[in-house]
Chains A and B, each alone.
Chain A
Amino acid sequence: MSVLSVASLSKSFGALRAVNDVSFSVREGEFLALIGPNGAGKSTCFNMINGQLRPNAGEIRFAGRNIAGLPPRAIFRLGVGRTFQIAATFGSMTAIENVQTALISHAGETYRFWRPAAARHRERALALLNQVGMRDAALRSSRELAYGDSKRLEFAIALANEPRLLLMDEPTAGMAPRERNELIALVKRLVVERKISVLFTEHSMDVVFAFADRIIVMARGRLIADGDAKSIRENPRVQEVYFGTGKAFEPKPQSAR
Chain B
Amino acid sequence: MNREIMLEAENLSAWYGAARILYDLAFEVKRGEVVALMGRNGAGKSTTMKAVMGLMARREGSVRFNGRDISRLEAYRIARLGLGFTPEDRRIFSDLTVVENLDVGRQDPRKFADGTPAPAWTPEKLFALFPNLAERRHHLGSQLSGGEQQMLTVARTLMGNPLLVLLDEPSEGVAPVIVEQMANTIVELKAQGLSLLLSEQNLHFAALVSDRVYLLEKGHICWHGSMADLLDNAEVQRSFLTV
Contacts and interface: CB of A to CB of B under 8 A. Distances in A.
Interface stretch (B21-29, B48-56, B103-111, B227-235): B227-235
Interface string A10-43: 0000001000000000000000000011111000
Nearest to A252: B207
Contacts of A241: 175, 177
Interface in A135-178: 146-147, 170, 173-178
Interface residues of A, number: 35
Given A38-B174, A147-B42, A242-B175, A254 B243 contact: no
Contacts of B173: 38, 170, 173, 203
Interface string B177-198: 1111101000000000000000
Contacts of A256: 231-234, 237
B202 interface: yes
Interface in B1-42: 40-42
Contact of B147 (A38, A177, A205, A251): A38
Interface string B122-155: 0000000000000000000001111111100000
A175 B242 CA distance: 11
A91 interface: no
**Interface range for B:** 35 or more
A1 interface: no
A252 B150 CA distance: 24
Contacts of A240: 177
B231 A39 contact: no
A257 interface: yes
B6 to A, nearest CB: 26
Nearest to A245: B180
Interface of B is mostly: helix
B86 interface: no
A204 to B, nearest CB: 9
B176 A176 contact: no
B233 A203 contact: no
The interface residues of chain A, by DSSP majority, are classed as: loop
B93 interface: no
A175 B109 CA distance: 39
B207 A176 contact: no
A177 B241 contact: yes
A255 B179 contact: no
Nearest to A43: B146
B180 A248 contact: yes
A39 B148 contact: yes
A211 interface: no
A243 B176 contact: yes
Contacts of A203: 173-175
Interface in A228-257: 240-252, 254-257
Contacts of A247: 180, 183, 204, 208
Contact of A250 (B143, B174, B204, B232): B204
Contacts of B232: 256
Contacts of A248: 171, 176, 179-180, 183, 202, 204-205, 208
B145 A39 contact: yes
Which 3 pairs between the two chains have the least Cβ-Cβ distance?
A38-B146, A39-B145, A178-B242
